[in-house]
Amino acid sequence: MEVEVYNISGSKVNRKVNLDDSVFGITPNDHAIYLDVKQHMANERQGTHKALEKSEVSGSTRKLKRQKGTGGARAGSIKNPLFRGGARIFGPRPRDYSFKLNKKLKKLARISALSYKVKEEKIQVVEDFSFEQPKTKQIIDLLKGFSLTYQKTLVIVPGSDKKITLSARNLENVMVIQASDINTYDILNADNLLITEGSVRIIEEQHKEKA
């Protein structure tokens, strides 16, 4: 499919770029997207949660009261989980939540997410650009040109560009990412995608089926 190309001011440049249907126009696979997003969020978890169990709680080990004749249940330790300030039964322990997914499934999830954005008309292709020096105002002007000032925007660039990255660093609703590093979560989490022409080619090369 063909889409318009814009300059950084948000104006059309009377040129179109062809988006490969095998990357930007497939029938999205929702289950692949679910698994990839689930893995991304699981891998982000620190897993450092910890509750004290009976052997780890501070407290005396002496009997609280005589075992018989009180009319109540026996109580052997102040660390009993049933008592206030006692241990926790089967409390959380540090663990690794990460898991692996097949590379082909992750690729399918990414192109499914891109295809959703194309269907929703949430992708704009921009001419390759750079800045002479890092300035937040330049990114703000870029967003204004596309009427995206108050929307979550993912800017996809061909390679590492420190000036663009630093320009966007202070903006909460803007994220700059290299084309080779795109992931399903970031694509879906953004309201709109601004993709440079060079990035389109890199994404297509990485995700097209090899003959």
Per the model's pLDDT, the better-predicted residue between 63 and 211 turns out to be: 63
- Residue 125 falls in which region: left (phi positive, over 0), alpha (psi -120 to 50) or beta: beta
- What single DSSP character describes residue 70? S
Rounded average pLDDT over 151-176: 94
Q: How is residue 210 written in tokens?
A: 């090899």
Domain boundaries, the chain: 2-29+100-207, 46-96
Give the pLDDT confidence score for residue 187 in this predicted structure: 97
pLDDT band at 210 (very low <50, low <70, confident <90, very high): low
Which of 57-61, 96-100, 161-165, 177-181 has the lowest average pLDDT?
57-61
Give the pLDDT confidence score for residue 211 in this predicted structure: 43
Residues in the chain: 211
What pairing do the DSSP bridges indicate for beta strands 153-157 and 174-178?
parallel
SS3 content of the chain, % helix, strand, coil (to 5): 35, 15, 50
How many other C-beta atoms are found inside a 10 Å radius of the C-beta of residue 139? 24
pLDDT band at 209 (very low <50, low <70, confident <90, very high): confident
Sign, Cα dihedral of 57, 63, 67, 69: negative
| Residue ranges with strand state E in the chain | 2-6, 12-18, 123-126, 153-157, 174-178, 192-196
Please give the Cα distance from 177 to 205 (Å, whole number): 17
Question: What is the CATH architecture assignment of 2-29+100-207?
Answer: 3-Layer(aba) Sandwich (3.40)
Per the model's pLDDT, the better-predicted residue between 40 and 83 turns out to be: 40
Which of 16-30, 42-56, 70-84 has the lowest average pLDDT?
70-84
The predicted-structure confidence for 164-206, as pLDDT tens digits, reads as follows 999 999 999 999 999 999 999 999 999 999 999 999 999 999 9
pLDDT band at 133 (very low <50, low <70, confident <90, very high): very high
Give, for 82, the enclosing helix (H) or strand (E). Answer: none
* pTM beyond cutoff 0.85: no
Which of 65-69, 91-95, 139-143, 207-211 has the lowest average pLDDT?
207-211
